[in-house]
Amino acid sequence: MITDPALPECRCPHDCGGRPELRYQLRPGYPAPEPGTPQPEPPEHPYAPGKRGELVYDTLNGRVGAFMDRSRNRVYLRPERGGTEWDVDGKWLVELP
């Protein structure tokens, strides 16, 4: 990692730990379980979205996302109102009521 003392540390409300001017980020841009903490059980009946833009609930990260694409067992989601895309194993998705 490159560090430059002339650049200020990140002071964003998300406390990303990076240097925004260089687009460095030390933590993921979405909530994720802390390493070493037990993960919740995956849902009994996972949901497989079919259409791009379809809203689904990611039970692992606890957020709603719009389905963008799939690659094997990874599903790519984007926040409902736009933002940074994230990927999750398809076994963690459930259909929105």
Q: pTM of the full predicted structure?
A: 0.58
45-73: per-residue pLDDT in tens?
A: 888 888 999 999 998 888 999 999 998 88
Strands (E), the chain: 55-58, 63-71, 74-79, 86-89, 93-95
46: Cα separation from own chain's centroid: 18
* Domains, in order of start, for the chain: 1-30 (no CATH), 31-95 (2.30.30)
35: Cα separation from own chain's centroid: 15
Count of beta carbons in the 10 Å neighbourhood of residue 27: 12
Residue 25 pLDDT more than 80? no
Indicate the average pLDDT of the chain.
75
65: Cα separation from own chain's centroid: 9
